Amino acid sequence: MNLILKPGDLAALPDDPARLFGREAPLALEVGFGGGRFLTHLAEARPAWNVLGVELSGGSMTRAFKRLRRAGARNVRLFRGDGRFVARDVLPPGSLHRVYANFPSPWPKKKHRDRRLLRAPFFRLLASRLASASGALHLTTDHERYFRSAVRAARSTDLYRMRFTPPPHAALGTKYARRWQDQDRTIRHVAFFSENVPPFSFPPVIEPTPMHHAILQGDLPDLAEFEKIVRQFDGGTVVVLNAYRAVNETTYLFLTLVEEEHLRQKVLIEARPSENGVFVGLKPFGDALSTEGTSEAVDCVTAWLCERGLTVEEALY
Ligand SMILES: C[S@@+](CC[C@H](N)C(=O)[O-])C[C@H]1O[C@@H](n2cnc3c(N)ncnc32)[C@H](O)[C@@H]1O
């Protein structure tokens, strides 16, 4: 199995962490691992754990990947995306032994506060994903107001017991930790132990759907008139950004952004002549997860082609 997990590697939602790592072991998650120093330390210090890192930034993914490869870590998987998607949709209830948030993005402006990760909804969700007897979330931050708001949020859920200690040595080696220590900022640490199981189980919100496609009759139109298509649907938004003609002249590719709850995928929808007519479907490229959103994307392209004279022979979505 690859060190990097892609949405398309997920067999189901939630998935089985033992399948993703190829072995049963206690699972630790780091959300927002940045350059991956702490993640690498964790993987080396805890060879008997499975360590999952989730990070939004592509540059950080690359840096962490190189660091982990140099270290020869085998008990780690990296996922580029939103920690909230992984916690809610990928991981089953009770599966997490530890969660680490080191210097999470503080979003200091008032109007951005709802972008903070450690708010009450996330604490409630996490309480359902942490192993009830031993599971804990460790927060280390230099941002006093974030620290206090996270403590308040956890307390408001009535699901955690907290332990305040000096930050662990390993959390002080990250890029941000070093930067703030150089500026003599106080670094705070708290461990949130899950004490109660929430009454609601927070089932996944993303529905994986079987591969979807349409067969159309008619000739593919001129691409010159293509303009960006934006479609809102119940679970998110599809934006068909651009259309391309392949070198073989017969296949059209539509570069499409699919945004669903905390899951953002860039996919290619193809339209190409086949034995039965024009096939429109999700191109098996880039390891996309086939979801309700990608199905909407296929429907968007189908609708665009139908507005240009093609007719639907068969639509499987
Ligand atoms: C201030 S940096 C800290 C990085 C690292 N933990 C360190 O201590 O150097 C915060 C990181 O969290 C990532 N991040 C923010 N929100 C996230 C989310 N919802 N899911 C995953 N990563 C996230 C950002 O891309 C960024 O790399």
User: Could you report the per-residue pLDDT of 132-152, keeping only the tens digit for each?
Assistant: 878 999 999 999 999 999 999
- Residue 305: which of 226, 212, 211, 213 has the closest Cα? 226
SS (H, E, C) the chain: CCCEECHHHCCCCCCCHHHHHCCCCCEEEEECCCCCHHHHHHHHHCCCCEEEEEECCHHHHHHHHHHHHHHCCCCEEEEECCHHHHHHHHCCCCCEEEEEEECCCCCCCHHHHHHCCCCHHHHHHHHHHECCCCCEEEEEECCHHHHHHHHHHHHHHCCEEEEECCCCHHHHCCHHHHHHHHCCCCCEEEEEEECCCCCCCCCCCCCECCCCEEEEECCCCCHHHCCCEEEEECCEEEEEEEEEECCCCCCEEEEEEEEECCEEEEEEEEEEEECCEEEEEECCCCCCCCEHHHHHHHHHHHHHHHCCCCEEEEEEC
**pLDDT, tens digit, for every residue of 44-64?**
999 999 999 999 999 999 999
pLDDT at 178: 85
Instruction: Indicate the average pLDDT of the chain.
Output: 94
pLDDT at 1: 59
Work out which ligand 1 atom sits closest to the CA atom of 102: 6
pLDDT at 197: 87
- Residue 5: which of 85, 61, 99, 80 has the closest Cα? 80
Q: Is the CB of 57 under 6 A from ligand 1?
A: yes
**CA-atom Rg of the chain in angstroms:** 22
Q: Which of 41, 51, 103, 147 to mutate to test the pocket of ligand 1 (most atoms within 8 A of CB)?
A: 103
Q: Is the CB of 40 under 6 A from ligand 1?
A: no
Q: Which of 29, 33, 52 to mutate to test the pocket of ligand 1 (most atoms within 8 A of CB)?
A: 33
Query: Which residue CA neighbors atom 23 of ligand 1 most closely?
Result: 32
Say what the pTM is.
0.94
Confidence of residue 9 (pLDDT cuts 50, 70, 90): very high
Q: Is the CB of 83 under 6 A from ligand 1?
A: yes
Q: Is the CB of 82 under 6 A from ligand 1?
A: yes
Q: Which of 51, 54, 56 to mutate to test the pocket of ligand 1 (most atoms within 8 A of CB)?
A: 56
Query: Which residue CA neighbors atom 24 of ligand 1 most closely?
Result: 32
- Residue 83 CA to ligand 1 centre (angstroms): 9
- Residue 189 CA to ligand 1 centre (angstroms): 16
- Residue 103 CA to ligand 1 centre (angstroms): 7
CB of 75 within 8 A of CB of 47?
A: yes
The residues, ordered by sequence, that sit 6+ positions from 43 with a Cβ below 8 Å of its Cβ are 49, 51, 68, 71, 73, 75, 76
- Residue 44 CA to ligand 1 centre (angstroms): 21
**pLDDT, tens digit, for every residue of 192-204?**
999 988 889 999 9
Q: Is the CB of 55 under 6 A from ligand 1?
A: yes
The residues, ordered by sequence, that sit 6+ positions from 182 with a Cβ below 8 Å of its Cβ are none
Q: Is the CB of 131 under 6 A from ligand 1?
A: no
Determine the Cα–Cα distance for residues 244 and 254; give it in Å rounded to an integer.
6
**pLDDT, tens digit, for every residue of 250-301?**
899 999 999 999 999 999 999 999 999 999 999 988 899 999 999 999 999 9
Q: How far is CA 231 from CA 42, 49, 133, in A?
A: 42, 42, 44
Amino acid in the structure at residue 127: A
pLDDT at 204: 95
Q: Give me 113's structure tokens.
A: 């506060």
Is residue 184 over pLDDT 90? no
Q: Is the CB of 265 under 6 A from ligand 1?
A: no
